[in-house]
Amino acid sequence: MEKNNRSNHQVDFQGNGGALRSPWKMAWRKLRRHRLALMGMWVLILLHVFAIFADFFAPYSELTSDRRRTYHPPTKIHIFHEGKLVRPFVYEYKRVDTLRNIYEEDTSTMYPIRFFVRGDKYSFLGFETDIRLFGVDAPGKIYLFGADRYGRDIFSRLAYGGRRSLFIGIIGLVISLSIGLIYGGVSGYFGGWVDNLMMRIAEIIISIPSFYLLLALSAVLPTNIPPDQRFMLIVAILGFIGWAGLARVIRGMVLSIAKSEFVAGAEAIGASQPRIIIRHILPNTMSYVIVNATLSIPGFILSESGLSFIGVGIQHPVASWGNMLSEALNLSSLTRYPWLLVPGFFIFITVLSYSFFGDGVRDALDPRSRTV
Partner 1 sequence: MYRYILRRLIYVIPMLLGISSLSFFIMQMAPGDALTTMALSPDVTDEIMEAMRARFWLDQPPYKQFFRWVTQMFKGDMGHSFLWHAPVTWVIKQRVFNTLLLTVVSLIVAWALAIPIGIHSAVNQYSWSDKLLTFFAFIGVSIPNWFLGLLLLYLNLTRGWGLPIGGMTSIDFAEFTFWEKVVDLARHMVLPVIVLSTGTLASLMRYMRSNLLDVLRQDYVTTARAKGLAERVVIYKHAVRNAINPLITIFGFQLGGILGGASLTEIVMNWPGIGSLMLNAVQGQDYYLVMGNLVIGAIMLILGNLTADVLLAASDPRIRYE
Pick from 212, 268, 270, 367 the residue near partner 1 by CB under 8 A: 212
366 binds partner 1 (CB under 8 A): no
Pick from 38, 63, 213, 266 the residue near partner 1 by CB under 8 A: 213
Contact partners, residue 321, CB within 8 Å, separation at least 6 = 158, 161, 162, 165, 305, 308, 343, 344, 346, 347
**Torsion sign over Cα 315, 321, 324, 329:** negative
139 binds partner 1 (CB under 8 A): no
Stretch that binds partner 1, among 60-68, 204-212, 225-233, 246-254 (CB under 8 A): 204-212
Closest alpha carbon to 77 in 28, 110, 99: 110
347 binds partner 1 (CB under 8 A): yes
Decide: helix, strand or coil at residue 288.
helix
300 binds partner 1 (CB under 8 A): no
333 binds partner 1 (CB under 8 A): no
Q: Report d(CA 347, CA 327) in Å as an integer.
A: 16
Q: DSSP letters along 314-346, please?
A: S-TTS--HHHHHGGGGSHHHHHH-GGGGHHHHH
Write down the H helix ranges in 135-226: 154-190, 192-207, 210-220
Name residues contacting partner 1, limited to 28-67 (CB under 8 A): none
Which residue, 177 or 325, is less far from partner 1 as judged by CB?
325
226 binds partner 1 (CB under 8 A): no
Please, is 120 exposed, middle or buried when counting C-beta atoms within 10 Å of its C-beta (0-12, 13-18, 19+)? middle
Pick from 5, 98, 123, 335 the residue near partner 1 by CB under 8 A: 335
24 binds partner 1 (CB under 8 A): no
Name the strand (E) or helix (H) holding 117.
strand 114-124
Decide: helix, strand or coil at residue 120.
strand
The size of the interface with partner 1 (CB under 8 A), counted in residues, is 43
320 binds partner 1 (CB under 8 A): no
> Least distance in Å: CB of 50 to partner 1?
19
> Least distance in Å: CB of 217 to partner 1?
6
Which residue, 76 or 368, is less far from partner 1 as judged by CB?
368
Contact partners, residue 315, CB within 8 Å, separation at least 6 = 227, 230, 308, 323
Which residue, 85 or 219, is less far from partner 1 as judged by CB?
219
Q: What angle do CA 118, 79, 95 make, to 5 degrees?
A: 70
Which residue, 189 or 357, is less far from partner 1 as judged by CB?
357
> Least distance in Å: CB of 343 to partner 1?
9
Which residue, 202 or 364, is less far from partner 1 as judged by CB?
202
Name residues contacting partner 1, limited to 243-282 (CB under 8 A): none
Which residue, 26 or 302, is less far from partner 1 as judged by CB?
302
Residue 129 main-chain phi, psi, to 5 deg: -145, 170
Name the strand (E) or helix (H) holding 238.
helix 227-257
334 binds partner 1 (CB under 8 A): yes
Contact partners, residue 151, CB within 8 Å, separation at least 6 = 65, 66, 67, 68, 69, 70, 71, 72
Which residue, 290 or 334, is less far from partner 1 as judged by CB?
334
> Least distance in Å: CB of 215 to partner 1?
5
Closest alpha carbon to 63 in 134, 122, 112, 135: 122
Pick from 312, 315, 316, 363 the residue near partner 1 by CB under 8 A: 312
Which residue, 79 or 206, is less far from partner 1 as judged by CB?
206
Contact partners, residue 147, CB within 8 Å, separation at least 6 = 66, 69, 70, 71, 72, 153, 154
Please, is 88 exposed, middle or buried when counting C-beta atoms within 10 Å of its C-beta (0-12, 13-18, 19+)? exposed
Pick from 142, 173, 217, 361 the residue near partner 1 by CB under 8 A: 217
197 binds partner 1 (CB under 8 A): no
Q: In the complex, which residues of this chain contact partner 1 (CB under 8 A)? A: 200-201, 203-205, 207-213, 215-220, 222-223, 298, 302, 305-306, 309-312, 325, 328-329, 331, 334-335, 338, 341, 344, 347-348, 351-352, 355-356
